[in-house]
Amino acid sequence: MAQTETNRRYTIADISGRDGRWELIDGIPYNMTPAPSTAHQKIVGELFFALRSHFGKSGCSVFVAPFDVQLEESDQHTIVQPDLSVFCKEQTIHSNQAIGVADLIVEVLSPSTALKDRNEKFTLYERSGVKEYWLVDPLNHTIELYGLSDGRYSRRQVFGVDDTLNSFVFPELSIEMKNILRG
């Protein structure tokens, strides 16, 4: 949930000294507590393993939260910690964060973050040029895959437990959903 003073637009420097984990989207700070549920963590772990197994061969890097991602170096009002992020350009990876656009971002919905992930982050990732965005819904056992085309996201497909996820941006990427979404 956002915790701000009315009409104040925060910078990355403003939140860097705060206790806990924070995201900043267009100047609005979001406290990243409470910790995610066990189901959330299991899904993130399984997806990390699948993505790392695939992308490790190609030279792309896969990161799991907490890992700061500043999508645009000049934007001092936005830094996020996606559940999973994939970067295929080595120059975006720095000693303690990534600066630049991710090729793929995955957010696992939690009751406290679902609206932010579906609205603010969706818009942020789309406008920043993240090629593919996955929204994982642990309650409904689905993954919604959005792909960037002409600067806009379109929902490409929704995958369930019995499906095999096939990426549109990375056509060689294929993941059995039963291994990820099992209840």
For 16, half-sphere exposure in the C-beta direction (CA atoms, 13 angstrom radius) is 10
**Sign of the CA dihedral 97, 20, 46, 121?**
negative
DSSP conformation class of 54: H
pLDDT of residue 98: 97
CA-atom Rg of the chain in angstroms = 16
Assigned token pair, 160: 């369930």
- DSSP character at residue 65: S
Residues 27/77, Cβ–Cβ less than 8 Å:
yes
pLDDT in tens, 8-45: 899 999 988 888 889 999 999 998 877 888 999 999 99
Stretch (H or E) spanning 165: strand 164-166
Cα–Cα distance, 180 to 183 (Å, whole number): 9
Question: Above 50 in pLDDT, residue 4?
Answer: no
**What tokens were used for 53?**
């197994």
pLDDT for 183 equals 57
| pLDDT value for 1 | 45
pLDDT score for 36: 85
Inter-residue contact 65 to 47 (CB < 8 Å): no
155 forms beta bridges with 146
Q: Which amino acid makes up residue 37?
A: S
Q: Which residues are bridge partners to 62 per DSSP?
A: 86
pLDDT (tens digit, 9 = 90+) per residue, 108-145?
A: 999 889 999 999 999 999 999 999 999 999 999 999 99
Residue with structure tokens 């990355």?
12
pTM (predicted TM-score): 0.92
As a whole number of angstroms, the distance between CA 60 and CA 150 comes to: 24
Between residues 69 and 7, which one has the greater pLDDT? 69
- CA 159 centroid distance within chain: 17
